[in-house]
Structure 1
Amino acid sequence: MFISILASAALMVLPACTGPQTTTTEAEENNVTSEELVDETASYVGQTVTVRSEAEAVVDDVSFLMADDEYFEGEAILVINGTSEPFVISDVGDTQVQVTGEVKTFALETVASEYGLTLEPELYAEYETKPVIIAQSIALAPDVGEVAANPEQYYNQRIALQGEVEEVLEAGLFTLDEDQLFGGSDLLVVPSMPTETVEDGEIVAITGVLRPYVKADFERDYDLQWDLSVTESIEAEYTEKPVFVADSVYPSAI
């Protein structure tokens, strides 16, 4: 199981802090399981990792705790939102979230100074010298079945999914093997920018937004350079159906 992060409260927005940003490319090389992160935390300090799970509690408006009883034995890891945008949290306790960020040893004064935050000492005293993840990317991480059952609920929200590559149509353009879940069609994945190449049968993690395929909208919003035959095939099979526009594609740790 992969770990991710959420917070606790019925509906909450975590404002972003304004610290240094890094790309998710680093995380692609440090995509770790929860067991590895917990057992070898020291070795990951200074590295960017991607983890996935539910959140246990909110500390304040910029941070929350993530935990997994199976691996953490009640121990929680502090997560601080370091993205450029706030993150809306709903259905706390049930929603899965995926976080990419740098693992650090928490020191209140250092983190507050580096990321321009005001952190209350009494709220953070117990986390001093413990691991913290400074989140550079946060996305909802529902099961593909949940998305397939109600895709409109997830339209135009940043989400993270995992699945098996069914077919590579051309460079960066592929389908995920979810034919039983999306009304008889595999889930089409369209890159919003150049991505790593994938192979048929590979298990991948993807982040981006789900939106209905409308040819005119996609041609307007993205630099599509598909072959005519591919364009016609996609239009025939996916018009008005859910399509995943990916800004990040990398091998899954699961």
Structure 2
Amino acid sequence: MLHNSSLKNPKNIRLGAIALSLMAILLPACTNETTTREQALENVTTQQVSEETSNYVGQTVTIRGDINDVVGDASFLMDDEQLLGGEEILIVNASGEGITLPRGEGSQVQVTGEVRNFVIADLEREYGLDFDPNLYAEYEQQPAVIAQSIALSPDPGEITENPENYYYKRIAVQGEIEEIRQTGVFTIDEEELFGGEDLLVITNNPDPRVNEDESVTVVGTLRPFVKAEFDRDYDLTWDLDFQQEIEAEYQNKPVFVADEIYPSAL
């Protein structure tokens, strides 16, 4: 335990080193158990939103998937990375900050926002956005998510392979709990990949109901494990043997410090 002190229509878009001129903010920290339960209910797929829009209009949802295509200056198309032929949905960024995508062939993100039927006039008036009707006409009256928060959402294997792309950034990670080392400390891996290195997760909101082999999403910050820095920034209540064990295994390796954990939508 620790406490903190302190897009169908692809256009061969190269998402590697570009910085989207989309407006986004990082997901807010949340350690309240009630809020975590509420977020679990909101955690849905793009297919659910696309096919069951009436069930979600007006609700705030959290979805995770691939950026397929950028549309204009303030939106992109997103689908579920694990659902072949899944429905795309338009994500409209309405928050105000930029997000830089890491190098790679694709980018996954986690988005939290309100489900709306896309109406250009309404959104321009409410959010001060300017939509090119030539680009957005096909999306009129179609389901969209008006995003108030966006976080990069790489797979555990991407993080352990190229941690420098993600250090000190707020990200959302989806995976399967591989091993619980002790309450609030566990490893996750990718459910469909074998042989990859597991990612160690430390959470400041330990939940004894978390089980091995459970698919979860964790939200937080990645940082290299430097014991002196963790001692400085967190109140680690581990016993000496466990501290030495973690230090021996993970010194200078990526460790994910989570402040949210909830069941995966997939």
TM band (smaller chain): 0.7 to 0.9
Q: Note the C-alpha offset of 1:250.
A: 1.0
Cα distance between partner residues in 1 of 2:165 and 2:102:
12
Counterpart in 2 of 1:194?
205
* CA deviation string 1:156-175 (max 9, x = no partner): 23333222223334443322
Structural RMSD (CA): 3.3
Distance in 2 separating the partners of 1:174 and 1:92: 27
| Distance in 2 (alpha carbons) for counterparts of 1:90 and 1:150 | 10
2:19 is aligned to 12
Q: Is residue 204–residue 250 contact of structure 1 (8 Å, CA) maintained in 2? A: yes
Checking the alignment, whether the CA contact within 8 Å between 1:38 and 1:71 is kept in structure 2 is no
Q: Does 1:154 align with 2:161?
A: no
Distance 1:122 1:34, change over 3 A: closer
**Alignment correspondent of 1:100:** 112
Question: What residue in structure 2 maps to residue 40 of structure 1?
Answer: 52
TM-score normalised by the chain length of structure 2: 0.74
The answer to whether structure 1 residue 253 and structure 2 residue 260 are counterparts is: no
SS of residue in 2 equivalent to 1:243: strand
Residues 160-239 of structure 1: pairs in structure 2 closer than 5 A: 160-177=172-189, 180-182=195-197, 186-191=198-203, 193-194=204-205, 196-197=207-208, 198-239=210-251
Q: Once superposed, which parts of structure 1, at least 4 consecutive aligned residues long, lie more than 6 Å away?
A: 21-24
- Give the drift of 1:22: 11
CA distance, structure 2, for counterparts of residue 216 and residue 16 of structure 1: 36
Take 2:157 and 2:169, find their aligned partners in 1: how far apart are those partners?
16
Unaligned runs of 5+ in 1: none
- Inter-partner Cα distance in structure 2 for 1:176 and 1:212: 16
Aligned to 1:71: 86
SS in 1 for 2:86: helix
Distance in 1 (CA, whole Å) between partners of 2:102 and 2:252 is 27
Question: Which stretch of structure 1 is more off in the superposition, 29-38 or 212-221?
Answer: 29-38
TM-score normalised by structure 1 residue count: 0.77
Is 1:130 aligned with 2:145?
no
TM superposition shift of 1:177: 5.0
Match of 1:85 in 2: 97
Looking at structure 2, the residues matched to 22 and 49 of structure 1 have their Cα atoms a distance apart, in angstroms, of 16
- Change in 2 beyond 3 A, CA 1:222/1:83: farther
Superposed CA deviations along residues 144-201 of structure 1, whole A, max 9, x for unmatched, are 223232223332233332222233344433222579423xxx422122x436552233
Change (3 A) 1:112 1:195: farther
Q: Comparing 223-232 with 40-49, which one deviates more in the overlay?
A: 223-232
Structure 1 residue 79: Cα displacement: 0.6
1:115 is the counterpart of 2:122: no
Q: How many correspondences in the alignment? A: 241
Q: Which has the higher contact order (CA 8 A, sep 6+)?
A: 2
Unaligned runs of 5+ residues in structure 2 are 1-6
SS of 1:71's partner is coil
Change in CA separation of 1:124 and 1:135 when aligned onto 2, cut-off 3 Å: same
Kept in 1: contact 2:46–2:79 (CA 8 A)? no
Task: Give the whole-Å Cα distance in 2 for the aligned partners of 1:100 and 1:70.
Answer: 23
